[in-house]
Structure formats: structure tokens, C-alpha cells
Structure 1
Amino acid sequence: MNVLLSGIVGSTAYGLAHEGSDIDRLGVFAAPTHAFHGLHRPPESHVTTVPDSTLHEAAKWCRLALGGNPTVMELVWLPEDLYEMRTAFGDELIGLRRSLLGRGRVRNAYFGYATQQFRKLQSRRSGASSPEVRGRMEKHARHLIRLLEQGQELHSTGELTIRLPDPERVRDLGAWIADRPERAEDFLSRAEHLFDQPGVLPEQPDERPAQDWLLRVRAAYYTPEPVGEAVRSA
């Protein structure tokens, strides 16, 4: 694989990691261009659990980012020290990150993912006496707060802060909400109200920079295959 950009994401990047936390890695790679010319397209993602790593093919990564996917979006907003691989194409991808943002998609993705965390909180509350379940509830609550605050930041400023300025506050909120999951409703309601107000983002992302970048990636990784025997004999 031709890895273009990769780095450490997840709890380590947020500043929420604890002893025993997994280190999550995310990256973008370019499949050889000739691989798209046959009967079967190359794999769009490579995922491993030991270590925890996800690599998305360039086109898939762009589609996910243009859709506002919060996990994918982290990769182009990481602090400098969390990048493990940066190529010229990776730097270009970081440079076009703002063009990937659209108001409706950011709202739907970040608010939608936070709402999913709320549902998970509610579904687990009957087992909250179990230390394992309690730990998961606190994790869902932390993700809910983080997603809402990151989404609101993007909506209001067009910027995304990955490393939380006050991770202890988010940990404390996670425990507080896990005690009574309905406490999250106020956070969701306030975020929904903000998302309904005018922000700095365009209504839709601009796909043109991503399209231009992807075409240049395809050109750079195109190596013509040798002509087959049947073609030569013809």
C-alpha cells in the first residue's frame, strides 16, 4: 500500500486515554491505479485489531470526509506530533480540509453520532450497577460531549480542535451523565439550537478540491501493466 497520511486518533488524540487504553491509528492510502481497471476493484479499507489500525483508500476517505464523518475528519486536524506518516499528498489533503466542510453534513454527522451515543447510554442504564457497563456508559457520555462540542466548534468557527483543552472536565461530565443519562438531553437540545443558527460553513462542501487531489493521486500511482500475450499476438 502507498500510505499518504496516517496518525494517532481516538482517546490518545483527545487526551482522554488512561492506562490500558488502546492506541488507535487512522490513515489514507492510494491503491495502484491499474488495480481499478480489472473485473474487481481493490479493497477500500484495511482494518486490523492488533494493532488497532484503519486505512481507507483515498477515494473512500474523501467520500467519508465530504459526508462529515467525525472519525475520518480527525485525520486532517491532528496536532503535529500525532502524525506518523506525512507525504506531499498527505500535506495537500490537510491543506484542503476546510473545503470538505458543509453546514448540513457537519450537523447531521456530529449531532447524529452524539444522538447514537445517547441511545446507547439509555439502553445500558439497567445494567449500570456492573462496573463494566458503568465504564461503557461513561465512555458513551464522554463521546457525546466531545462530538457535540467539536460539531459546534466546526459550525461556529470552521476549525476543529482534536486535543481537548480540559479532558478532566469531559471525564467528570461523563461520570455525571452516566449517573442519570437524561442529563444529556439538555446538552443535545442546546447543540441542536446552535446548529439551527447561521454559522460560518457553506451549506454544502466544495467537492472540486478533493476531486482534483484524487485525480492527481491516480495519475501519480499509475504504472501501465505489460501488454498481454493475446493482445501482442493480435
Structure 2
Amino acid sequence: MHLLLSGIVGSTAYGLAHADSDLDRLGLFAAPTEQFHGLHRPVESHVTTAPDTTLHEAAKWCRLALNGNPTASELVWLPAELYEVRTPLGEELIGIRRSFLSERAVRNAYLGYATQQFRKLSSRDSSDEPSRRRASKHARHLVRLVRQGLALHETGELGIRLADPAQVRELGERYADRPDLAVDLLADAESRFSRPGVLPAEPDEAPVESWLRRVRAAHLSTPS
């Protein structure tokens, strides 16, 4: 495995971490090019829990990002100090990060994930304290996803570190107790996503394809 780019993501990156928060890492790697020519394709993701790390093969990461996946996409928008591995090819990927963006994918992914969090909030057992803590987390994710998605839609920029984490935590507590209060937030988001934004209708796949081909060329096996 050739790690191309990795960094610290999740609550630490958003500014929402507390003393008991886990440290989450996300990265992408290049499998040796020759492995794509046999009967079995190489494993596309490696996930561990000690420490909490997710690594995606370069092609899989590109597909996730082209579909607007919020978790994968944040890897190329991190503050500089949160990167732990940043190779020349990883640097190139950061340089073409806007090529992955499209209006439809961003709307579907961010609003879709936020709606999933709302459903989890609405179905929780209000008498169960562990469920209450999970609900607060779901609510914080809901608020974050709405804000990040709308920023992408309206400005073309993905801000990872939240400007007001204390307010997001407070909203998380409020929505955990009263999920119905989040209905207006989602309705406003749907309204704003329905207006013209700055993103193109389709992603620009040409730079992505070119980058991936350079990755494959760089990781051809040397004959023995």
C-alpha cells in the first residue's frame, strides 16, 4: 500500500471534540497497478478501530468524492495542520478538489445525509440516556452537514472547521430533546438548495481521470 494523503478528520477537524472524543483518521492509498490485472481486484478500503482509521484506494476515493460523499470529500479540504501524510500526488489531488463538485451530487449527498440524521433523531428512545447521547451526536452532524453543504452550493468552498462550534453543540442538545425543532432547518436547506448556486451541473472528470492515470503510472511494479 502506498499512502498518498491522510489526515485527522471528524470532531477534531470540525472543532467539536471533547475530552472523550476519538481521534479519527482518513486517507487514500494507491494499490500496485499490476494488482488490477489479475482475477481479483485489490481491496479498496481498509478500516481499523484501534486507532480509528479509514483508508480508501485512490479510484474508490475518487468515485466517492464525485458522488459528493461528505466523509470522503473532507480529506482534500482539511486545514493544513491536520494533514499527516501529504505526498506530491496527494498535493495534486488537493489542487483539483473543485473538479469533483457538482450541484446535484452535493445537494443529494449533504441534504440526504442530514435527513438520515433527522430520522435517527426522530426514532430514538427518549427514556434511554445512551440513546440521548447518540441523539445529540446525530443532531450535531445534522447541523454540520446542512451548513457545509449549503456553503459548497453557494460558495464552492467546503469549510471543515466550524466557525461557531459552541452554537452547533447547543443546537445538538436542543434538537436531541426536540427533534421537531430541526424541521425548519431542513426546510430552509431544501429551499436554498433549490435556488441556483455556483457549482456546475456535472463534475469535471477530465482532471480526475488524468490524476488517476498518473497514480497508476507511478505505481507500476518494477520488473525483478
Question: Are 2:92 and 1:92 equivalent residues in the alignment?
Answer: yes
Does the residue aligned with 1:25 lie in a helix, a strand or coil?
Answer: strand
The corresponding residue for 1:190 is 188
Name 2:177's counterpart in structure 1. 179
Q: How many equivalent residue pairs?
A: 224
3-state SS, counterpart of residue 8 of structure 2: strand
Cross-structure match for 1:142: 140
**Preserved CA contact (<8 Å) 1:34 1:225:** no
Task: Determine if the alignment matches structure 1 residue 164 to structure 2 residue 162.
Answer: yes
- Measure how far apart 1:225 and its partner are: 4.8
Q: Secondary structure of 2:22's match?
A: coil
Matched, 1:26 2:26: yes
Q: Indicate yes or no: 2:75 matched with 1:52.
A: no
- Secondary structure of 1:48's partner? strand
- CA contact under 8 A between 1:33 and 1:221: conserved in structure 2? yes
Rg larger for: 1
* Inter-partner Cα distance in structure 1 for 2:31 and 2:52: 21
Residue 116 of structure 2 corresponds to 116
Q: Decide whether aligned partners of structure 1 residues 144 and 154 sit closer, same or farther in structure 2, where only a CA change above 3 A counts.
A: same
Which blocks of at least 5 consecutive residues in structure 2 are unaligned? none
Give the TM-score normalised by structure 2: 0.98
Instruction: Work out the CA distance in 2 between the residues paired with 1:79 and 1:166.
Output: 16
Tell me by how many angstroms 1:224 deviates. 4.9
- Root-mean-square deviation over aligned CA pairs: 0.8
1:221 maps to amino acid: H
Using the size of structure 1 for normalisation, the TM-score is 0.94
Q: CA deviation at 1:131?
A: 2.0
Question: Matches of 1:196 and 1:60 in 2, distance apart?
Answer: 29
**Which residue matches 1:221?**
219
